Structure 1
Amino acid sequence: MENTLKEQAEQLLEKGEVEELYQLIEPFIKANDPYALFLYSSFSLESLNESDDDFEKRSVELLKAASEGGLAEASYRLGVLYLYSDLATEEDQKSSVYFERAISQGHSHSKFTYGFSLYYEQAGQAKARGLQLLKEAAEEGIELAAEELKIIYNANHL
């Protein structure tokens, strides 16, 4: 999708005009455009009569396709879903796969979120990796990472 269409789509989503949004992005969904799939993962059409479970299943599948298509934000959202939502009980290790993919796709905030999780929930090399990711996120301008590093350094008297 070209940038002007992306901007138009984002405005429609922000306004909650999902029927019009769907009409705009439908050809791109059919063409497996990663950004269109990502957008469609975030809303349901009234005409579909989807249950919450059906919507969640469709949303995750669309996010997976967008992630595999190279969209870092989709990879990040999957990492967050698998780390913090009910999906985490299904396959806890999947969050790392998606966070690592988002990081390789250039998503700086993934470094903060994943680094934070590793630092506070793991030990040894994983904890060290978490600290390194927090440092990289801070260097890339993620203020939350810089703030967290200050807390870590103060707590450890570094």
Structure 2
Amino acid sequence: MTAFTHLDKNDSPAMVDVGEKKITRREAVAQAVIVLPEAVLKALQDHDFATSKGPVFQTAVIAGIMAAKKTGALIPLCHPLGLTNCSVDITLNAQQEIVIRCTASIESQTGVEMEALTGASVAALTIYDMCKALSHDMVIKEIKLMEKRGGKHDFKRQ
């Protein structure tokens, strides 16, 4: 296992110096899953996935993209990055859970895992916020990196 990269020689928090790294194409995909009570899911389906606050999934897509773009301002030691692309896709799986996938990409000296994770997280939180009037019994049950490409090594969750 490698050492923590966000600590300096005195074990104090430090931003990673990426100045000597090569600029390469980097992409990351993160996923969040939300479990809704059956009544909330049915209410969403009955109203074309809209609430009095507006279209739930479309609002969550915009929120996720906006959050990914602001990751450097939200996570203290993240580099501020100008993403070349970001997308958020929201679907229902076979278990009737909402699955959010955020894909972020860039040509840079550092990766975009945190941007993808932030985008998926905020999209999930937006869905929670837009549905909480119907029930607070929702669970954001997982937020995880699914894959990353570029940089030192690639990663793909099995």
TM-score by length of 1: 0.25
Larger proportion of helix: 1
Which protein, 1 or 2, shows the higher relative CO under an 8 Å CA cutoff with sep ≥ 6? 2
TM-score by length of 2: 0.25
